Structure 1
Amino acid sequence: MSAESQLAAMAGGTLSAAELLSETRRRYELANPLVNAIVTTDFAAAERSATESDRRRAAGEPPRQLEGLPVAVKDLEQTAGMRTTFGSALHADFVPTSDSLVVERLRAAGAVIYGKTNTPEFGTGSHTYNRVFGTTTNPYAPDRSAGGSSGGAAAALAAGLVSIADGSDMGGSLRTPAAFCNVVGLRPSAGRVPNWPSDNAWETLSTNGPMGRTVGDTALLLGALSAGSDRAPLGFPEPFDTRIGAHERRLRIGWSRTLDGLEIDPAVTEVLEAHGLPTLLELGHTVTDEEPELAAADTVFRVMRGIGYARNFGSLLAGKRELLGPELIANTEAGLQYSLDDYLDAREQRTRVYAGMARLFERIDVLAAPVTAVLPFPAAQHWPREINGVQQPDYLEWMRASWRITVTGFTAISVPCGLSAGGLPVGIQLIAPPRHEARILALAAQFERARPMWRETPRVLDHSTPDRPHREETEALR
């Protein structure tokens, strides 16, 4: 069921929050050993929250936005009284005394928090593994990556372990796992979902955002997480209106196959061309071939992200290097090589990249493109080493289909598009200018109605297939 359907069932009295949590716990016991999406739990606290939700409904109190929905929070978000590791051995036993703003808003909206979803070390990279909890794998292929850094969230959604899920996105950490796991992930405009606590309150590369099995569920969570906060200076003042409208006219959609010359696996292109492009045309929109000018975004992202890593983790290299993962070390060392001039040049180049996108959107309303350059890759790999025979020099290179859009500041959503010949999910990325989440949500909802791929059953839930091979595949990765 979608989260919206679960809320309707609870409102109608055919389902209670306690029953929904109990069903979720049974699903957790069945499927989580196969995918390792939920890494910390507190069902006792969740049962108290579910009981309170049922009491409120019985007493006739107005239901809150997420009243009674079971969730698990990404392990980058502080949860008071519940272990928060950030995917790092440095914080393996850390238990915060306060909630992050995202968690505050989930609780205030009536969500029933029962656990934490896995993430790579400090959210580093688009493959979810760490030394604390091991690897999260894909519900559609348990020997494959679930993506990252919100890989635990995406896998949990696909496997039915949560009703909705929070995530965060710097280089595609919402969009890549959504595409890999056949769910929806929205990167909102900077400030739409305020972030606190943060060492950089003016951060614009990274943002929190919503994930769901459906577009409607994703919009529902965006409404609960949005609105301004005095603790976050970039926050939009008003909450997002979760009602998804219809387009009053045909949209002008640009169709980008490579996002300015990226190597894209033909298996990804095949699904997008066979299902994504025809669906947009069948919906009555005008589609033209467009390739945005984005190559300059590569240096911008590497410099700005690298300097952030150098600032945050540079001091750890000397004394605690043995506790850090190879990707974190490599990115921090790269960041330490950049100068103030590099940063200022990158900032100016980012402005030029944005201006180029703004010019493109004078003739289109939405850009449609690949979310990822590859299909979900073997989970035993740290990243794809080559695409179409082209070597990928590090773990950032293969993610450019997502992080080139990050640099622009545009909002983007990953929506399930289809399955490859081998049954692996492929997402389509819909992109619009900042503050136009409503536009891409409306188009995504249209697309989803025409192609309801979210109803595809993941392999780990296919009871006709014995679960022992899945379990063996997953255990081999730990």
Structure 2
Amino acid sequence: MNLTRRPAADLLRDLASGSLSAAELMQATLDRIDATNDTVNAVVALRDPDALMAEARAKDAGPKAGPLHGLPIAVKDLVNVQGIVSCQGSPALAGFVPKKDDLIAARMRAAGAILIGKTNSPEFGLGSHTFNPVYGATRNPYDPTRSCGGSSGGAAVVLAAGMTALADGSDMMGSLRNPAGWNNVYGFRPSWGRVPGEPVGDSFLHQLSTLGPMARSPEDIAILLDVISGPDPRLPHPYAAPGAAPLRPAETRGLRIGWLGDWGGAFPMEEGILDISEEALKVFESLGCIVEPVAPPFDAEAMWESWITLRSWQVAASISVQPRASLKESAIWELDRGLAMSAMEVHRASVVRSEWFRAAARLFERYDALVLPTAQVWPFDADLAWPAEIAGQAMDTYHRWMQVVIPVSLIGLPCLAAPAGFGANGLPAGIQIFGPRRSDAALLALGAAYHAATEWPQRRPAM
């Protein structure tokens, strides 16, 4: 097996024992990036190879310290990393080199990781399709003519293509889950607050987006989740949780799983999406789980209106400092909506969010986990900005085609995006497995049992 395709847990064990050197792993990483990145364009702002090799040799010469000691990681380009160009895919920030790390980068560095560069993302992370005017589009390794999803598209692709063993991502509107499904890897959106955001600006009002880990197995996700989790004294809403690693598969017999499908027809789906999700559910049944269809538990349109109000409010707050002329059309749409909102509009949207949270809590009295597809469409043509219609139904916004992720995002639930296999078109798809807040470890353990029964990421792209 190519060294960079090995599980992160195995690499870290060998790095700690000295049977694998950080220099050897770094050279293999650089070789793999050199062999594949021209095709998929996932790694951007790669550091000088000589400097990276020197840092790896210094790791070998120094003490073995930290759970990620010697492991190369490329950081999502929405995160500031000291000494590495961090432009968020925007011409307005082209060439910007931060003088300090954002919190998640600092935690990975302190854990011993070698930060090698960035993974590509859409401009300011808007839209689940990774392209921007600075670096261009990131391509799906299973079919480079197709989208890899986003905004953590570059992160998902480096994993699928075997460039690195771990990756960080972020998720507001499916930005971890959609690309995980489309690249046959795992992405984990933690309970909101478990992984703290950056302690700048407002830290009380906005509860939609979170950082999270991505990997080729739930076991590896648990390793990175522990590194980036934990309260920060500069932030409210602290969430301290026991460590998730080393992860063990759950005892699955008797667990109850609810299948939400297309939400009673509210979420249009391309042909084959529901079928492949239902095939994945059969795996849980084979593991002794009880799988049941669930009627729509909440009004989908009310949820959507709440979502786009709260999202535009948050996005406008974050990008209003940028020159308007530098923003793409979708960013301007979000900005204008957010600036035009009244406080009472935001309040009413949050009341709907609260009602859905209470309805979901009642569901979790019956079910250990709920399941939805990670996306409503297959990976689409990489030259498109976004799907204009699904199954003949026109999409009225640039992100309506991602409505299936809203039930999780709106109320900050933990969710594991897991591979569901491949369609007749040869393209990968995924499922969302989600539960009540603070059920992170239980979901990962359930995912570990599913992974042991499927090992979908072992079906690698031909590159």
Counterpart residue number, 2:21: 16
Gaps of 5+ in 2: 1-5
Task: List 4+ stretches of structure 1 deviating above 6 A.
Answer: none
Matching of residue 302 in structure 1 with residue 304 in structure 2: no
Alignment of 1:17-416 (within 5 A): 17-42=22-47, 43-56=49-62, 61-202=63-204, 203-238=206-241, 240-248=243-251, 250-260=254-264, 261-273=266-278, 275-291=279-295, 292-295=297-300, 296-314=302-320, 316=322, 320-416=323-419
8 Å contact 2:16–2:64 — kept in the other structure? no
SS of 2:349's partner is: helix
Shift in alpha-carbon separation, 1:294–1:447, aligned structure 2, 3 A: farther
8 Å contact 2:56–2:114 — kept in the other structure? yes
Between 18-27 and 200-209, the greater mean CA deviation after superposition? 200-209
Alpha-carbon distance, 1:160 to partner: 1.3
Shift in alpha-carbon separation, 1:206–1:198, aligned structure 2, 3 A: farther
8 Å contact 1:262–1:401 — kept in the other structure? yes
Shift in alpha-carbon separation, 1:259–1:2, aligned structure 2, 3 A: farther
8 Å contact 1:184–1:211 — kept in the other structure? yes
8 Å contact 1:190–1:234 — kept in the other structure? no
Distance, in Å, in 2 between the alignment partners of 1:309 and 1:20 is 39
8 Å contact 2:7–2:165 — kept in the other structure? yes
| Aligned-partner residue type, residue 10 of structure 2 | S
Distance, in Å, in 2 between the alignment partners of 1:239 and 1:396 is 35
Shift in alpha-carbon separation, 1:311–1:63, aligned structure 2, 3 A: closer
8 Å contact 1:137–1:379 — kept in the other structure? yes
8 Å contact 1:196–1:231 — kept in the other structure? no
8 Å contact 1:314–1:333 — kept in the other structure? no
Equivalenced residue count is 452
SS of 2:12's partner is: helix
Shift in alpha-carbon separation, 1:315–1:231, aligned structure 2, 3 A: closer
8 Å contact 1:224–1:239 — kept in the other structure? no
Match of 1:2 among 4, 7, 11: 7
Distance, in Å, in 2 between the alignment partners of 1:314 and 1:10 is 45
Distance, in Å, in 2 between the alignment partners of 1:206 and 1:385 is 25
Shift in alpha-carbon separation, 1:44–1:300, aligned structure 2, 3 A: farther
8 Å contact 2:249–2:447 — kept in the other structure? no
Distance, in Å, in 1 between the alignment partners of 2:375 and 2:22 is 36
Q: How many percent of aligned residue pairs carry the same amino acid? A: 40
Alpha-carbon distance, 1:108 to partner: 0.8
Alpha-carbon distance, 1:322 to partner: 2.9
SS of 1:41's partner is: coil
Distance, in Å, in 2 between the alignment partners of 1:210 and 1:426 is 19
Between 262-271 and 330-339, the greater mean CA deviation after superposition? 330-339
TM-score, normalisation: structure 2: 0.94
Counterpart residue number, 2:457: 454
Distance, in Å, in 2 between the alignment partners of 1:401 and 1:332 is 23
Distance, in Å, in 1 between the alignment partners of 2:72 and 2:237 is 29
8 Å contact 1:227–1:239 — kept in the other structure? no
Distance, in Å, in 1 between the alignment partners of 2:232 and 2:56 is 27
Shift in alpha-carbon separation, 1:393–1:226, aligned structure 2, 3 A: same
Alpha-carbon distance, 1:327 to partner: 1.2
Alpha-carbon distance, 1:294 to partner: 5.0
Alpha-carbon distance, 1:338 to partner: 2.1
Alpha-carbon distance, 1:400 to partner: 1.0
Alpha-carbon distance, 1:328 to partner: 0.8
Compute the RMSD of aligned alpha carbons.
1.5
Alpha-carbon distance, 1:10 to partner: 2.5
8 Å contact 1:253–1:367 — kept in the other structure? yes
Alpha-carbon distance, 1:337 to partner: 3.0
SS of 2:418's partner is: strand
8 Å contact 2:86–2:97 — kept in the other structure? yes
8 Å contact 1:137–1:143 — kept in the other structure? yes
Alpha-carbon distance, 1:246 to partner: 4.1
Distance, in Å, in 1 between the alignment partners of 2:298 and 2:394 is 23
